[in-house]
């Protein structure tokens, strides 16, 4: 059995809005094993993006513990969290988050530059990754010269740049039409099958979630049900 790579243990996240406490997560518990493909679904306000922020070391819980590869990261400093993000986690966002002044090739190189990868190696790896996502002929184009689907492919290539253990995608098809959405989610499924990465996708679209091997449903900051291998648990 593969080891647990992500574990949330009684995780609460409470935001202060003036004098009001907003409960985004309420004692959330779940675990993901190495190499799993998991979709997290739920209505707006259910806590999906907050959960991704916890897993991705983008935020810390108000209380509870978050483990990555067995290490409790819930008490680490921002510098320590940034190092973990750079080495272990690749991110794909709904709005692509590409740097408009850089080409596709240069956007994919950015995470490697931050990890002090030699420039020539970064260029070769970026070219390789862009060829994997079918953009070998568009690598010198800037984001405004690319379609939404192509920009998301660049974002996926960038997420793979430092060969992370975990890929986190937050509504990765939210800004795409249905045909392009299907192409992108099929690409995620292929990357999971071919590279065995742990893949977590946040989505409100059930058709997208069904591509995952397991679906966790969030409501009011808690897991209320999950589906594995087509069976409701």
What pLDDT score was predicted for residue 228? 63
What pLDDT score was predicted for residue 194? 86
What pLDDT score was predicted for residue 174? 87
Q: Is the pLDDT of residue 207 over 90?
A: no
Q: Structure pTM?
A: 0.90
Q: Considering only residues 137 and 232, tell me which one the structure prediction assigns the higher pLDDT.
A: 137
Q: Is the pLDDT of residue 76 over 70?
A: yes
What pLDDT score was predicted for residue 227? 66
What pLDDT score was predicted for residue 192? 86
Q: What is the mean pLDDT of residues 82-109?
A: 93
| Contact criterion met (CB below 8 Å) for 64 and 8 | yes
Q: What is the mean pLDDT of residues 2-19?
A: 93
Q: Is the pLDDT of residue 190 over 90?
A: no
Q: Considering only residues 204 and 151, tell me which one the structure prediction assigns the higher pLDDT.
A: 151
Query: pLDDT averaged over the chain?
Result: 91
- Which runs of E-coded beta strand occur in the chain? 4-17, 20-33, 37-41, 63-68, 71-72, 89-93, 166-170, 198-202, 214-219, 222-228, 231-232
Domains and CATH numbers, the chain: 37-49+82-232 (3.40.50.300)
Q: What is the mean pLDDT of residues 113-136?
A: 95
**Exposed/middle/buried for 169, CB within 10 Å: 0-12, 13-18, 19+?**
buried
Which of 29, 30, 28, 36 is CA-nearest to residue 3?
36
Q: Is the pLDDT of residue 226 over 80?
A: no
By percentage, how much of the chain surpasses pLDDT 90? 65
What pLDDT score was predicted for residue 137? 94
Q: What is the mean pLDDT of residues 62-70?
A: 93
What pLDDT score was predicted for residue 230? 52
pLDDT in tens, 11-31: 999 998 888 999 999 999 999
The most confident of 6-10, 43-47, 67-71, by mean pLDDT: 6-10
What pLDDT score was predicted for residue 20? 93
Which of 42, 74, 55, 51 is CA-nearest to residue 225?
42
pLDDT in tens, 147-165: 999 999 999 999 999 999 9
């Amino acid at each position: 059995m593969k080891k647990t790579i992500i574990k949330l243990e009684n995780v609460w996240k409470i935001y202060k809005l003036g004098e009001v406490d907003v409960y985004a997560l309420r004692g959330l518990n779940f675990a993901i094993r190495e190499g799993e493909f998991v979709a997290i679904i739920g209505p707006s306000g259910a806590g999906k993006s907050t959960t991704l922020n916890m897993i991705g070391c983008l935020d810390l819980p108000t209380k509870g513990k978050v483990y990555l590869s067995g290490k409790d990261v819930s008490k680490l400093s921002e510098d320590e969290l940034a190092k973990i993000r750079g080495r272990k986690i690749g991110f794909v966002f709904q709005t692509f988050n590409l740097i408009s002044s850089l080409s596709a090739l240069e956007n994919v190189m950015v995470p490697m530059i931050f990890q002090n990868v030699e420039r020539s190696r970064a260029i070769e790896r970026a070219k390789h990754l862009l060829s994997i996502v079918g953009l070998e002929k568009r690598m010198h184009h800037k984001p405004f010269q690319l379609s939404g689907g192509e920009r998301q492919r660049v974002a996926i290539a960038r997420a793979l740049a430092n060969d992370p253990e975990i890929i986190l995608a937050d509504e990765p098809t939210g800004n795409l039409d249905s045909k392009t959405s299907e192409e992108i989610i099929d690409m995620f499924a292929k990357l999971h099958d071919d590279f065995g990465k742990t893949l977590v996708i946040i989505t409100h679209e059930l058709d997208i979630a069904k591509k995952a091997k397991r679906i966790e449903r969030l409501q009011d900051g808690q897991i209320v049900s999950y589906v594995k291998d087509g069976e409701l648990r």
